[in-house]
Amino acid sequence: DGLAAIPRLWGTTVDAQTDRPEALAIRQSFLADAMLVAIAAPPVTVTQGGSNGDSPHRFHLVLPDQGHGTYHWAHGTVTQRPEDIVLVDITEPSQLVSTVDSRLIRLSFPEEYIAPYLPSRYARAVLHLPAREGLMKVIAQHARALACEADRLDRVAQHALLAHLCGLLGLAIETETSSRPARQRHRSFQRQRVLTYIETHLRDPDCTAKRAAHDLGMS
């Protein structure tokens, strides 16, 4: 049905439709407050109906190694290819249509990790960050390494690495969505890194300015 199926399915939180459910494989692990899922999927249509308010506001980072899919939401459409990253706001209705076999990782994390980096008046269910050499390749490799090593990390390291990943995403978002000069974008990015670090360590009694500076690589 393509787009015609979206309104009918928005009433549910998640709806997945495939002709080969036996080919769907999911491996789950955790990284601090985030959930990591490695997925091998046949052609599938996944409709996200929007959060019903029972769970915290979360975002999904989706990074495919194989396959491609098209996201549809109320105000746009975008196609994601291997190495592209998309951020999906799960409180907003959206639909992913993939017509080929795919392999991907999905990282689901609380809004507070990424909120400081989102553009003002952000109103998109899906934020698309196209694959590029340089920063995007670093982010993709970082996300894959976390997916492989999450179970071997202690919780302090998990929190720090998740915050660092979102900091890198923030720089990519600034680059993709801002028309400001590079120096101003970097200054804004550094400020938001500090704010995100503070927000994610508010309950840590050992969090000090000295420790924050060390963890963030600042004076």
Q: CA of 32: how far to CAs of 77, 203, 205, in Å?
A: 32, 14, 17
At 203-219, the pLDDT tens digits run 888 889 998 888 888 88
* Range ranked top by mean pLDDT from 10-14, 170-174, 189-193: 170-174
Give the C-alpha separation, 154 to 29, whole Å: 13
Q: What is the pTM of this model?
A: 0.78
**Under 8 Å between Cβ of 121 and 178:** no
- Computed over every residue of the chain, the mean pLDDT equals 84
**Length of the chain counted residue by residue:** 219
Helices 182-200 + 155-177 axis angle, to 10: 150
CA dist., res. 63 & res. 127, Å (int): 12
Digit-coded pLDDT (tens) for 81-115: 999 999 999 888 999 999 999 999 999 999 888 88
CA distance 6 to 72: 8
